Structure 1
Amino acid sequence: MRMTQQAFDLDLVAGKQSVATRTAGVTGVLTTVWRLFRSRCQIARLQDLDDRQLLDMGLKREDLHEALTSSFFDNPGSYLTRASRNRANLFYRGTRHN
């Protein structure tokens, strides 16, 4: 068998996806959507805390609101992490912003 024939045969096989591969892809997407939904539910529960408790975590109500109103496929937890770290950096640099 020539090299061109082997390459052609490999291309035909590589183009088809098995049922297991497609199922794994769909399962991965559904898992991601479920995690994002659960994350938003947990962030919504943070709204039950008072402002002092939120500030202890380095957060403000505006941070929660922006995280919850962001695009659904953006991870709101990463937004809150960045907001908290930025506020902590400002605090330790001496430029505190309440």
Structure 2
Amino acid sequence: MRTTQHVLDLDLVAGKQSHAARAAGVTGMLTSTWRQLRNRYAIGRLNDLDDRQLLDMGLKREDVNEAITSPFFDNPASYLTRASRNRASLFYKGTRHD
């Protein structure tokens, strides 16, 4: 077979999805959306903490607000992780900015 025939064969196979594959895709998307909503709710609960408690975790209130107002399909925990690591790095370098 020539290369073009292989490509055509692959396109025909890849174009059809079974009902189980479609259901798994929809289930995965719904699970991901539910997880995003649950995580945003949990991050929103960080606003209940006072500033000293947030600083113990390496966070500031601005970091929490930035995570909450991030685009929906971005992972808000990545904003908090990045902020906490940057603050810890500055702390250990001796240039703490509280």
TM-score between both structures, scaled by the size of structure 2:
0.88
Identity among equivalent pairs (%): 75
CA distance in 1, matches of 2:28, 2:9: 30
The CA distance in 1 between the partners of 2:34 and 2:61, in whole Å, is 24
Structure 2 CA distance for aligned equivalents of residues 89 and 96 of structure 1: 9
The structural deviation recorded for 1:9 is 5.5
Structure 1 vs Structure 2 CA RMSD:
1.6
- Shift of residue 11 of structure 1? 4.0
Partner Cα distance (2:10, 2:94) in 1: 62
Q: Does 1:23 align with 2:26?
A: no
**Equivalence for 1:97:** 97
Which residue of 2 is the match for residue 72 of structure 1? Answer: 72
Q: How many residues end up aligned between the 2 structures? A: 95
Write out aligned runs for 1:1-98 (5 A): 3=1, 7=6, 11-98=11-98
User: Could you tell which deviates more after superposition, 24-33 or 58-67?
Assistant: 24-33
Q: For 1:42 and 1:36, locate their aligned partners in 2 and report how far apart those are by CA, in whole Å.
A: 10
**Which amino acid counterpart does residue 48 of structure 1 have in structure 2?**
D
- Flag the 1:26–1:94 CA change in 2: closer, same or farther, 3 A: same
The two structures have a TM-score, normalised by structure 1, of: 0.88
Letter in 2 for 1:71: P
